[in-house]
Protein backbone atom coordinates (compact mmCIF):
# COMPACT_ATOMS: atom_id res chain seq x y z
CA UNK A 1 0.00 0.00 0.00
CA UNK A 2 1.38 3.43 -0.96
CA UNK A 3 2.11 5.71 1.97
CA UNK A 4 -0.19 8.70 2.26
CA UNK A 5 2.39 11.46 2.09
CA UNK A 6 -0.34 14.09 1.91
CA UNK A 7 -1.24 13.56 5.58
CA UNK A 8 0.47 15.88 8.07
CA UNK A 9 -0.19 13.99 11.26
CA UNK A 10 -2.90 12.38 13.35
CA UNK A 11 -6.44 12.38 12.06
CA UNK A 12 -8.68 14.95 13.80
CA UNK A 13 -11.25 13.30 16.13
CA UNK A 14 -14.21 14.42 14.00
CA UNK A 15 -12.81 12.68 10.92
CA UNK A 16 -11.61 9.62 12.76
CA UNK A 17 -15.18 8.78 13.80
CA UNK A 18 -16.06 7.90 10.22
CA UNK A 19 -15.39 4.31 9.13
CA UNK A 20 -12.23 3.66 7.15
CA UNK A 21 -12.17 2.02 3.72
CA UNK A 22 -11.20 -1.61 3.28
CA UNK A 23 -8.51 -1.24 0.64
CA UNK A 24 -6.58 1.34 -1.36
CA UNK A 25 -8.57 2.59 -4.37
CA UNK A 26 -7.29 2.63 -7.94
CA UNK A 27 -8.34 6.25 -8.34
CA UNK A 28 -8.52 9.14 -5.92
CA UNK A 29 -10.68 12.26 -6.08
CA UNK A 30 -8.69 15.39 -5.30
CA UNK A 31 -10.59 18.67 -5.14
CA UNK A 32 -8.84 21.45 -7.01
CA UNK A 33 -9.89 24.09 -4.50
CA UNK A 34 -8.79 26.85 -6.87
CA UNK A 35 -11.89 26.10 -8.95
CA UNK A 36 -14.30 25.04 -6.20
CA UNK A 37 -17.29 27.31 -5.56
CA UNK A 38 -18.42 25.48 -2.43
CA UNK A 39 -21.77 24.61 -4.05
CA UNK A 40 -21.83 21.27 -2.15
CA UNK A 41 -23.23 19.39 -5.17
CA UNK A 42 -20.54 16.73 -4.84
CA UNK A 43 -21.27 16.03 -1.18
CA UNK A 44 -24.67 14.46 -1.69
CA UNK A 45 -23.33 11.96 -4.23
CA UNK A 46 -20.43 10.62 -2.15
CA UNK A 47 -21.44 7.13 -0.95
CA UNK A 48 -18.92 7.11 1.92
CA UNK A 49 -19.38 10.69 3.17
CA UNK A 50 -15.74 11.63 2.76
CA UNK A 51 -16.15 15.14 1.33
CA UNK A 52 -15.76 17.80 4.00
CA UNK A 53 -16.69 21.50 3.96
CA UNK A 54 -13.67 23.75 4.53
CA UNK A 55 -13.55 27.50 5.20
CA UNK A 56 -12.53 29.56 2.17
CA UNK A 57 -8.85 30.28 1.86
CA UNK A 58 -9.14 34.05 1.49
CA UNK A 59 -12.36 34.96 3.34
CA UNK A 60 -13.08 32.18 5.79
CA UNK A 61 -16.28 33.83 7.08
CA UNK A 62 -17.83 34.36 3.66
CA UNK A 63 -16.55 31.53 1.49
CA UNK A 64 -16.34 27.78 1.64
CA UNK A 65 -14.75 25.10 -0.47
CA UNK A 66 -14.65 21.34 -0.01
CA UNK A 67 -11.93 18.79 0.58
CA UNK A 68 -11.86 15.04 0.01
CA UNK A 69 -10.53 12.97 2.89
CA UNK A 70 -8.12 11.03 0.74
CA UNK A 71 -7.78 8.26 3.30
CA UNK A 72 -11.48 7.45 2.93
CA UNK A 73 -12.20 8.10 -0.76
CA UNK A 74 -13.03 4.86 -2.62
CA UNK A 75 -12.49 6.38 -6.07
CA UNK A 76 -16.03 5.91 -7.39
CA UNK A 77 -15.85 9.21 -9.35
CA UNK A 78 -19.46 10.16 -8.63
CA UNK A 79 -18.36 13.52 -7.23
CA UNK A 80 -16.27 14.32 -10.32
CA UNK A 81 -19.15 13.36 -12.59
CA UNK A 82 -21.55 15.72 -10.87
CA UNK A 83 -19.31 18.71 -10.12
CA UNK A 84 -20.76 21.55 -12.19
CA UNK A 85 -17.40 23.31 -12.24
CA UNK A 86 -15.31 20.32 -13.31
CA UNK A 87 -12.86 20.85 -10.48
CA UNK A 88 -12.42 17.31 -9.17
CA UNK A 89 -9.65 15.47 -11.04
CA UNK A 90 -9.71 11.68 -10.62
CA UNK A 91 -6.07 10.62 -10.35
CA UNK A 92 -4.31 7.26 -9.97
CA UNK A 93 -3.87 6.74 -6.23
CA UNK A 94 -0.10 7.31 -6.02
CA UNK A 95 -0.35 10.40 -8.21
CA UNK A 96 -3.30 11.67 -6.20
CA UNK A 97 -1.55 11.64 -2.84
CA UNK A 98 1.43 13.33 -4.45
CA UNK A 99 -0.57 16.11 -6.10
CA UNK A 100 -3.19 16.66 -3.40
CA UNK A 101 -1.11 19.17 -1.38
CA UNK A 102 -0.65 21.29 -4.51
CA UNK A 103 -4.41 21.54 -5.05
CA UNK A 104 -5.47 21.93 -1.43
CA UNK A 105 -5.63 25.46 -0.07
CA UNK A 106 -7.39 24.65 3.20
CA UNK A 107 -7.76 21.37 5.05
CA UNK A 108 -9.75 20.20 8.04
CA UNK A 109 -8.60 16.60 7.53
CA UNK A 110 -5.06 17.53 8.48
CA UNK A 111 -3.87 16.97 4.95
CA UNK A 112 -0.97 18.99 3.60
CA UNK A 113 -1.79 22.19 1.73
CA UNK A 114 -0.22 24.51 -0.81
CA UNK A 115 1.35 26.41 2.10
CA UNK A 116 2.92 23.25 3.50
CA UNK A 117 4.29 22.43 0.10
CA UNK A 118 5.77 25.91 -0.14
CA UNK A 119 7.62 25.51 3.15
CA UNK A 120 8.93 22.10 2.17
CA UNK A 121 10.21 23.12 -1.23
CA UNK A 122 12.56 25.98 -0.52
CA UNK A 123 12.23 28.97 -2.81
CA UNK A 124 9.27 27.59 -4.74
CA UNK A 125 6.57 29.27 -2.65
CA UNK A 126 3.10 28.26 -3.81
CA UNK A 127 4.12 26.78 -7.13
CA UNK A 128 2.19 23.71 -6.14
CA UNK A 129 -0.92 25.37 -7.54
CA UNK A 130 0.49 24.90 -11.00
CA UNK A 131 0.89 21.15 -10.76
CA UNK A 132 -0.32 19.38 -13.87
CA UNK A 133 -3.72 17.74 -13.56
Interaction site with ligand SF4 (CB under 6 A) = 29, 31, 36-42, 45-46, 48, 50-51, 66, 68, 73-79, 83, 85, 87-88
What sign for the dihedral angle of Cα 83, 89, 91, 94? negative
Residue (8 or 85) nearer to ligand SF4, CB: 85
**Cβ 92 to ligand SF4 shortest distance, Å:** 13
**Cβ 82 to ligand SF4 shortest distance, Å:** 7
**Cβ 115 to ligand SF4 shortest distance, Å:** 20
Tell me how far apart the alpha carbons of residues 107 and 27 are, in angstroms, rounded to a whole number. Answer: 20
11 and 110 Cβ atoms separated by less than 8 Å: yes
54 and 67 Cβ atoms separated by less than 8 Å: yes
Residue (77 or 131) nearer to ligand SF4, CB: 77
Smallest CA-to-CA distance from 3 within 80, 72, 71 is with 71
Residue (47 or 123) nearer to ligand SF4, CB: 47
Q: In 1-133, which ranges are continuous DSSP H helix?
A: 13-16, 78-82, 93-103, 114-120
**Cβ 27 to ligand SF4 shortest distance, Å:** 7
Residue (74 or 117) nearer to ligand SF4, CB: 74
Amino acid sequence: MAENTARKGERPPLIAKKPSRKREPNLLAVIDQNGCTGCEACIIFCPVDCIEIVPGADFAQFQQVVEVDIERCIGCALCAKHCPWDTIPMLPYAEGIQKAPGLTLKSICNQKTVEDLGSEVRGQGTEGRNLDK
